[in-house]
Amino acid sequence: MATAVGSGPAQFTDRLLAPAWTPSRVWWVLFGVSGAGTLVLAGAVAYTVATGIGVWGNNIPVAWAYAIINFVWWIGIGHAGTFISAFLLLFHQRWRSSINRVAEAMTLFALVNAGLFPLLHLGRPWFFYWLIPYPTRMGVWPQFKSALPWDAAAVATYFTVSLLFWYLGLVPDLAAARDRAPGRTRRRIYGVFALGWRGAGRQWHQYRVAYLVLAGLAAPLVISVHSIVSLDFAISQLPGWHSTIFPPYFVAGAIYSGFAMVLLLLIPLRRAFRLEDLITERHLDNMAKLLLAMAWMLIYSYVVETFMAWYSGNAYERYTYLVERPLGPYAWIFWGMLTANVVVPQLFWWRRLRVSPPVLFAASLLILAGMWTERFIIIVTSLNRDFLPSSWHFYAPTWVDWSILFGSVAFFFLLFFLFLRFVPMVAISELKQQRHEASAAAAAVAAP
Amino acid sequence: MSNDRHWWRDLDELLDTPDFREALGREFPAGAAELADGMTRRSFVRLLGASIALAGVGGCFERPRERILPYVSEPPESTPGLARHYATSMTLGGYATGLLVESHAGRPTKIEGNPDHPASLGAAGVYEQASILQLYDPERARAPRLGRGKSSWSDVGALLSPARLGPLVGARGAGLGLLLEPSASPLSSEMLGRVREGYPEAGVHFYSPLGSRASDRAALTAFGRALLPQYDFRSADVVLSLDADFLAGVPFSLRYARDFADRRRIAAPTDEMNRLYVIEPGLSVTGGTADHRLRVRAGEVESLAGAVLAEVTRRVNAPGTRGGQGIPGDVASVISGLEPPPGHREWITALARDLDAHPGRTIVIAGERQPPRVHVLAHLLNAALGNVGRTVRYIESPLLEAGAPSHELAPLVEAMRGGAVRALLVLDGNPAYTAPADLEFAAALRRVPTSIYHGLYENETARACGAFVPSLHYLESWADGRAWDGTASLVQPLVAPLYGGKTDAELLAALIGDSEAGAHELLQELWRGHMAGTDFANAWDEALQRGVIAGSAASETTPAWRWGAIGTELAGTRARADTSLELVLDQDPSVYDGRFANNVWLQELPDPVTKLTWGNAALLSPATAARLQVATGDVVELAYHGRTLRVPAFLLPGHAVDSVSLRLGYGRGAGDEAVADGVGANAYRLLTGGMAHFGGGLAVSPALGDDGAPLRERLATTQTHWRLEGRPVALRAALDDYRRNPAFAEPERGRVLSLYEPGTGSGDQWAMVIDLATCTGCSACVVACQAENNIPVVGKEGVLDGREMHWLRIDRYFEGSVEDPAVLMQPMLCQHCEKAPCEYVCPVSATLHSPDGLNEMVYNRCIGTRFCSNNCPYKVRRFNWFDYNAEVAETERMAKNPDVTVRGRGVMEKCTFCVQRIREAQIAAGIEGAATGEVRTACQQACPARAITFGSLNDPESELVRRRAEPRRYAVLHELGTVPRVQYLAAITNPNPELPRGDGGG
């Protein structure tokens, strides 16, 4: 029983809830900056919807560009949370508990951003609901041979399950917040969201079952959602898209970028809230190892798709993979992508670098940028030079494209800062349980 | 589609019971339309209230003040919803082309060729078709102007009257000047005659910046008369063009392209085809079609033509041959002295041998830009080759005063500057813009006390004139004209003048005191005389209905050679022109001489060879550009005879070395034409008084900005890549190779591996075949499609962004060396794939297949994911990035085809195979109970070369099925398995075996 002073269960809870009661000045600054960025996003979106997506840089042949790149990027980022929560829960990886709340929140916010783009990229966004199979008087349905209705369904399902999963995990902590919140109003609000949680044994029992069931539901969705997103490309016959490796390739890439984003968020959080004892070196080490593993899955995909392009003997495939990407007008982006996604993670062969927060932070940033450029390479360099040389055309984004990209990043952080401010940012109840079990085990060892 | 089945909804309908008939007659079920009970107090009050409320609503609508009449019975000339066609003709470059104009409810919407007119034979060119937009141009002038203020016709007419004008210009009109465009119109001739009666000393002048004065001068030299050669390309086996763009850029080129294509279209490998040699500086549509193209500076064409003539006469006069065609010895000795410039001897010899091998079956045609001497050489070549009277016939030029000094502008400008011209009337044209810069026409015009401009726009010339009278568009006018071959046709209006204005004839009538004369009366009065001896009313109606006046073509005349003058002319032939950098000015394939610069269709129509839109550029060969150290997009300063012009450079493979081409017609400004304003650079600033459209002594230097940095400009091309990358897209073979291996296209057609059994289905199954052997790339089809299908324009920014909307584009590929490549033209449109990649990726089924094989686009269902475009290997789908039609002016909306949906923002669109025409034909056939008759797509209809064939695969009699059976048929990107319904016939060239391949043609 070597519990430090002030680290009893009650103090532990207080410590973890503290950020929710009194925002720091830093919080206000970050909130302001991300809020301003969100306004830029809102402005750019309003301008786009009012004028038409011609305000973007898209053209024929490059009919998809930033909106779809951003969509795939955000969806990919949104994989880590559920992966951490569901897969690691199912595999009894208990280290997940310190980070799963942040990761799940990150997933949700990434999905909110991702969901914006398929709507926004439509020529007539006000008819987005035609993608959804609902019974109409006219008897028209979506066209199920296309990947896009499946895409909409997969993303919507994933978002719903992720939200439920996150919320269910939150309930005991919301109850704790209700019990400790200063002021009546806050207690009421937390009380409503705590859904009458009292911590009774029966509630805990049902909670555990429900949580496990949801984890079981969410886990396959991690695989399915990006597989289906990848079909947006793979079902086409465009060289550079028409590839059977896309589903696993996309899932690996998604988890890769998701972990990078989790690290990017956790490292400053750990520092700011002095959570080194919760988010330990072991956590960093594990996540860096996962990054390295995912990087190799990606490298495998890069090698295989390039090899297959050459091996197919198909002139168009060869042109896209062997000429356009490495040597074409966007070659600098291609090589930058390879540097970020392939070279940078090789640092994690060394444990010293795996546990170094600055290295991890910088590497995560590079990997996130690298994964964005990967989607740029996949989408733009496949489209801009396809079959008929007569239709080849360069693509360049406009200021609206950039505003929407950076605005969506700001919006993501805005949501994240609000999360930090109002919601318990680590799974307090889970951690308390683990501490209890650990101390019980220690006591059991000490007893005889 | 079939109506052999009779569908019924229920037994009542089948049995046609009285109950059913009554139910049909009633809109609502029984009882629903009657008051349920008698009038009660409550219902009365309710009705009262409703009546008062509705009375207020009714008060919102106001009836027109005038008496209006309900439509009780249909007038015979109009069936609501059905378009009618009227024959008329459009005059351009002085010559008329017969047209059929489609009119919907009194509003002309589309221009097509008149099959009965010799200059059209059913085809229509880009200018003719796009002129419909000019009619509706909101920037056309709407009112007369006197000084700075708006005026009325009565005031300006009074100004023109003899009472007012007489004292100013003198009783005999010595101070009166008239400046017209060259014209062949009998009515203009008549009216000018009357003006000359009134003012015998009035100066009548004709000016056109393009025109054919060199040709006329050559004819005067050679024959003493302004004879006009008429070429019969149907009978020509070998054609030599001396810088003549006869397939696209001359007044009769629709007809020439048709005749030329007829000799180039081969159904089987064993067929014979013609062979075309072109000697030219730039790369023209004709040059791109050539089997052998010699790119030389424009100034060298003369010496090469001379050398060809020397070689030909040497061969013709050689012992044992059929002998010369009476060329006298002294001329013959001059000719024999004409030596080919070094380096081209082999080419010339092979060409001469080829020409000589087809006596009487060749044509040598000289370009209008070339000096008279080249035209004389062409006349002599045709004579030496025995072509005169066979493939080349001469007629008296139909142009008024052809070859006369009145076609010179300089004397008029001299008189204006000297104050001799007291009053000047400028009819049409835009001389203040198009006149050679060194004449300073606008400045001279300001010295004329009374100047009146008559034109469609308040343009540069109008601004320099004291008074202005709007002219009428030809679709609003009564007039007449003559075609290149002299055939006369009437111009009848399709619509009452939109803004008011006067025709040329009415203005000339005002000059002789009849300011109220109507063009219709003047025209009828004239033709009543010409049609004497017949029933005038009938003859008149027939002329209007057919669009041509029967038997009015000029008769052939036998030229009398003036050998003395010819010898003198030839003696001046230079063996080698100067070697300095050369400037060549071109007629623009889109805006002509600048008169169509306000036409958005034409501004956005890609140049056939450069694919440039919205502006011009200094075209030069890659080698010359490398020497001058300029790249595409660099702004260069052209210094030429003391004048400079800034214009972006554009590298054009196939352009002659040491030569820079520049299209005329851009850089407009200082007028009301907002579209034209500031687009491109004004090449007329480099045109000199000698009217030579080319000349040496050009200096090119990089243009620097105010900060000393080199200037660059983004050029809006619709095609940024030139090479085919070895892909089986546009196939072509030399005739010999085709004969040796007729199956060369076979790997690119036929069945592809599939799990499904192929089957085309029954009934009409639409398909198209495009013959690349005859396609010249002239782009008439592109404008036809734009007009027929309400295709919007996107502006220069839109083209730069890669968002042009043309459903049909012409892809132009270069093959071979960058300096001197072969050119391939390929019309590319929706291929209507049987297994369309676009269809299965659409999430909302907005693009689907019709039972008759069309790939259809349902605009209302489209939500704009653009997945279809990404998956289209032909990239023929077009997206409405903005609400393009919101920017269309109120008047221009009247040009829209009411049979075709106008697309809104955010939806995809593409070629429909002119589905509106298909359905119209099917409905008509359904009413008749017959099989669907011939359907012609807009592109097919416009094509002068008849390169496009359309029809049903299930109609074994159709031309389509016949042409699809040709061995050179192939599908673009066949291996993808899209099974396109549009298939191509590989281009076949006919290179001379004596010449090495890869010299541009073979």
CB atoms within 10 A of CB B722: 18
CB contact under 8 A, A59 and B973: no
User: What H or E segment, with its residue span, contains residue A40?
Assistant: helix A25-51
Q: What is the DSSP letter of B399?
A: S
CB B823 within 8 A of CB B811: no
In chain A, residues with a C-beta closer than 8 Å to the C-beta of B844 are: 130-131, 140, 142-143
CB B476 within 8 A of CB B498: yes
pLDDT at position B455, please? Answer: 92
Q: How confident is the model at residue A447 (pLDDT cuts 50, 70, 90)?
A: low
Tell me the per-residue pLDDT of B250-284, one tens digit each, with 9 for 90 and over. 889 999 999 999 999 998 999 999 999 999 999 99
Q: Does B714 touch chain A (CB under 8 A)?
A: no
Tell me the per-residue pLDDT of A197-219, one tens digit each, with 9 for 90 and over. 888 889 999 998 998 888 888 88
Closest by Cα among B827, B811, B807, B809 to B880:
B807
In sequence order, what E strands does B335-389 have?
362-366
pLDDT at position B1002, please? Answer: 36
Burial of A182: CB neighbours in 10 Å, binned 0-12, 13-18, 19+: exposed
pLDDT at position A6, please? Answer: 46
pLDDT at position A16, please? Answer: 72
Report the percentage of chain B scoring pLDDT > 90.
Answer: 53
Closest by Cα among B410, B478, B615, B409 to B185:
B478
Nearest to B843 among A124, A142, A393 (CB): A142
Q: What is the rounded CA–CA span in Å between residue B854 and residue B903?
A: 19
Mean pLDDT for the stretch of residues B669-679:
83
Q: How confident is the model at residue B1000 (pLDDT cuts 50, 70, 90)?
A: very low
Residue A141 has pLDDT above 60, yes or no: yes
- Greater confidence (B321 vs B384) lies with B384
Residue B592 backbone dihedrals phi, psi, to 5 degrees: 60, -120
CB contact under 8 A, A131 and B844: yes
Q: Which two tokens stand for residue B395?
A: 């007629």
CB B774 within 8 A of CB B828: no
Q: How confident is the model at residue B31 (pLDDT cuts 50, 70, 90)?
A: very low
pLDDT at position B29, please? Answer: 47
Q: How confident is the model at residue B79 (pLDDT cuts 50, 70, 90)?
A: low
Q: How confident is the model at residue B59 (pLDDT cuts 50, 70, 90)?
A: very low
pLDDT at position A359, please? Answer: 93
Q: What is the rounded CA–CA span in Å between residue B94 and residue B119?
A: 13
Q: What is the dihedral of CA A330, A331, A333, A334, to 10 degrees?
A: 120
Residue of A nearest to B871 (CA): A236
Nearest to A123 among B724, B826, B906 (CB): B906
Mean pLDDT for the stretch of residues A261-276:
87
Window 179-218 of A, Cβ < 8 Å to B: none
The mean of the pLDDT values for chain B is 87
CB contact under 8 A, A59 and B802: yes
Tell me the per-residue pLDDT of B581-620, one tens digit each, with 9 for 90 and over. 999 999 999 999 999 999 999 999 999 999 999 999 999 9
Query: DSSP string of A5-36?
Result: TT-SHHHHHHHHHHHHHS--HHHHHHHHHHHH
Nearest to B870 among A53, A63, A131 (CB): A63
Three-state DSSP class for residue B612: strand
CB contact under 8 A, A52 and B881: yes
Gap from B935 CA to chain A (nearest CA, Å): 29
Q: Does B719 touch chain A (CB under 8 A)?
A: yes
Q: Which two tokens stand for residue B155?
A: 């005031």
pLDDT at position A4, please? Answer: 42
Tell me the per-residue pLDDT of A231-250, one tens digit each, with 9 for 90 and over. 999 999 999 999 999 999 99
Per-residue CA distances from B374 to B213, B285, B705 (Å): 13, 21, 42
Q: How confident is the model at residue B22 (pLDDT cuts 50, 70, 90)?
A: low
Residue of B nearest to A68 (CA): B865
Gap from A334 CA to chain B (nearest CA, Å): 21
Mean pLDDT for the stretch of residues A16-38:
85
pLDDT at position A378, please? Answer: 94
Question: Which sign does the torsion angle of CA B815, B818, B820, B825 carry?
Answer: positive
Chain A contact probe: residue of B801, B829, B883, B909 with most A CBs at under 10 A: B801
pLDDT at position B606, please? Answer: 95
pLDDT at position B165, please? Answer: 84
CB atoms within 10 A of CB B420: 14
CB contact under 8 A, B721 and A149: no
Residue of A nearest to B826 (CA): A390
Q: How confident is the model at residue B323 (pLDDT cuts 50, 70, 90)?
A: very low
Q: Does A61 touch chain B (CB under 8 A)?
A: yes
Closest by Cα among A200, A164, A194 to A177:
A194
Residue A405 has pLDDT above 80, yes or no: yes
Q: How confident is the model at residue B64 (pLDDT cuts 50, 70, 90)?
A: low
- Neighbouring-strand partners of residue B588: B592
Nearest to B828 among A140, A147, A390 (CB): A390
Q: Does A313 touch chain B (CB under 8 A)?
A: no
pTM for this structure? 0.88
Q: Does B557 touch chain A (CB under 8 A)?
A: no
Gap from A251 CA to chain B (nearest CA, Å): 22
Q: How confident is the model at residue A3 (pLDDT cuts 50, 70, 90)?
A: very low
Q: How confident is the model at residue A52 (pLDDT cuts 50, 70, 90)?
A: very high
Tell me the per-residue pLDDT of B426-481, one tens digit each, with 9 for 90 and over. 999 899 999 988 888 988 988 898 899 999 999 889 988 989 999 999 999 999 99
In chain A, residues with a C-beta closer than 8 Å to the C-beta of B715 are: none
CB contact under 8 A, A146 and B867: yes
Tell me the per-residue pLDDT of B951-969, one tens digit each, with 9 for 90 and over. 999 988 899 999 999 999 9
Tell me the per-residue pLDDT of B288-319, one tens digit each, with 9 for 90 and over. 999 999 999 988 898 889 889 988 888 877 65
Mean pLDDT for the stretch of residues B67-89:
70
ipTM over 0.85: yes
Q: How confident is the model at residue A1 (pLDDT cuts 50, 70, 90)?
A: very low
Please tell me which of A420-424, B287-291, B932-936 the model is most confident about, judged by mean pLDDT: B287-291
Residue A2 has pLDDT above 50, yes or no: no
Q: Does B726 touch chain A (CB under 8 A)?
A: yes
- Greater confidence (A7 vs B280) lies with B280
- Our CA angle for A236, A237, A238, nearest 5°, is 95
Residue B3 has pLDDT above 50, yes or no: no
Window 335-374 of A, Cβ < 8 Å to B: none
Q: What is the rounded CA–CA span in Å between residue B210 and residue A369?
A: 58
In chain A, residues with a C-beta closer than 8 Å to the C-beta of B809 are: 390
Gap from A114 CA to chain B (nearest CA, Å): 16
- Greater confidence (A333 vs B537) lies with A333
CB contact under 8 A, A148 and B828: no
Q: Does B826 touch chain A (CB under 8 A)?
A: yes
In chain A, residues with a C-beta closer than 8 Å to the C-beta of B867 are: 64, 146, 148, 232, 236
Nearest to A237 among B871, B878, B908 (CB): B871
Q: Does A236 touch chain B (CB under 8 A)?
A: yes
Tell me the per-residue pLDDT of B697-741, one tens digit each, with 9 for 90 and over. 899 999 888 888 889 999 999 998 888 888 889 999 999 999 999
Please tell me which of A272-286, B410-424, B906-920 the model is most confident about, judged by mean pLDDT: B906-920
pLDDT at position B564, please? Answer: 87
Q: What is the rounded CA–CA span in Å between residue B241 and residue B93?
A: 20
Residue B1 has pLDDT above 50, yes or no: no
Window 103-132 of A, Cβ < 8 Å to B: 121-125, 127-128, 130-131
Q: How confident is the model at residue B538 (pLDDT cuts 50, 70, 90)?
A: confident
Bond prior to A61 in cis (omega within 30° of 0): yes
Residue B624 has pLDDT above 90, yes or no: yes
Q: Which two tokens stand for residue B91?
A: 């005059």
pLDDT at position B21, please? Answer: 58
